[in-house]
Amino acid sequence: MKTAFTSAACVTPRETIRDAVVLVEDGLITSVDTRNAIEIPPGTRIVDYGDSVLAPGFVDMHIHGGGGHDVMEGTPDALCAIETHLAAHGTTSYFATTVTASVDDTLRSLEKLADRIEANGSHLHSHRSPDQEFRACPLGIHTEGPFISPKKRGVHPPEHIKDASVELFDRMWQASRGHVKIMTIAPEIAGAEDLIREASRRGVCVSMGHSNACLRAAELGIDAGARHVTHTFNAMRAMDRREPGILGAVLTDDRLTAEIIADGVHVAPEMIRLFLKAKGVERAVLVTDAISATGMPDGQYQLGSFTVDVKNSTCLSGGRLAGSVLTLDRAVRNIMKFADWPLDKALRLATLNPARTVGACTRKGVIASGADADIVVLTPKGELIKTIIAGN
């Protein structure tokens, strides 16, 4: 069926089109332009959203769970609950993010996540048909650990942290059947440069994080192939005037994209403004780092193998921050508030930028001819009205 979605504006997000029409057929966008420039074919179903804003569905590169479940459970019921929760908040694509655990538990989770990705036909470069279930698509897997610094481990269990190992990474790669698309690694740990090179060779987006690296070690990681940064400011060496550390590279090197958790808990609004000035609208990425507690009442929840206490939107384990209960629709509104950014700029950080970082921006994170018809309908203030997945 052909459908025309119309609205006062469409943020593509490369441009903002006023008085917009988005034509969709068989789950794909066929064209987008102004009403004056597009002739709607006879028999097309027209859905008008009035004064609302159309934008691409959100893409979350770093998420551990939601709706009471953790991605490492790996069961169809658990992942369905997470994906349904995500869709209710405008996230249409995500990368299931593991935490440091025993090797056996990690491999088991990777196998189950690969099953889910392949069963849905929703991996990085595939197209999901409009008759599939209404929920977010897993595009791949993000491994956060075990190749991290014990000094900046956050809540990751120290007994399971490993030196960088191409052999262990290959076991993880095989278990995931090649669906590991993002890997967080501390560039200063033993073996890191070799592993970064190998993962990059396999097309993995290597992200530096949970790191106590000095500036030189971070630069060597970038030279080896690292091109992204995990939750900037959190779980990394603090800046010093003479040794700026990994943050010196994050904030000054245009080869790096960088993610931030804009929940007002992990990073102060003033630091978010600094981050945005440094990375700009093209290299900043919004993530949630959300855990199973997201969308649930305060209480105790699981993150991988350990328990997290959640109260007043703060997640703690052993007195340390342990993920968030943030959703990307709220993160977009927070950027508008914290940085006084307009909606169109804030949206780019949750759509085009993450999709481009993982090499999926021809299909995801954009409203353009040939892209998947994953669309959010928003108020001009960024409040979510509706989520459209594969044109439905």
Pick the catalytic residue: 289, 329, 372, 374? 289
pLDDT confidence of residue 271? 97
Q: Which two three-digit tokens encode residue 201?
A: 């060779």
pLDDT confidence of residue 122? 60
pLDDT confidence of residue 289? 97
pLDDT confidence of residue 123? 61
pLDDT confidence of residue 126? 62
pLDDT confidence of residue 85? 97
289 in active site: yes
Of 126, 120, 228, nearest in space to 184 by CA: 228
pLDDT confidence of residue 131? 58
- What average pLDDT does the chain have? 95
Q: What are phi and psi of 65, to 5 degrees?
A: 170, -170
Name residue 304's amino acid: G
pLDDT confidence of residue 179? 98
pLDDT digits (tens, 9 = 90+) for 10-34: 999 999 999 999 999 999 999 999 9
Query: What is the DSSP annotation of 112-181?
Result: HHHHHHHHHT-STT----TTS-SSPEEEEEEEE-SSS-GGG-TTS-GGG-----HHHHHHHHHHHTT-EE
Q: How many other C-beta atoms can be found within 10 angstroms of the C-beta atom of residue 105?
A: 16
Q: Which residues pair with 299 in a beta bridge?
A: 310
Of 92, 135, 96, nearest in space to 377 by CA: 92
Q: What is the mean pLDDT of residues 125-145?
A: 81
Q: Which parts of 19-75 fold into alpha helices (H)?
A: none
Of 204, 130, 149, nearest in space to 173 by CA: 204
pLDDT digits (tens, 9 = 90+) for 158-204: 999 999 999 999 999 999 999 999 999 999 999 999 999 999 999 99
Q: Are 107 and 343 in contact (CB under 8 A)?
A: no
In the chain, what are the domains? 58-359 (3.20.20.140)
d(CA 388, CA 304): 30
Q: What is the mean pLDDT of residues 76-103?
A: 97
pLDDT digits (tens, 9 = 90+) for 291-309: 999 999 999 998 988 899 9
pLDDT digits (tens, 9 = 90+) for 215-228: 999 999 999 999 99
Q: Which residue has the tokens 């209480």?
A: 299
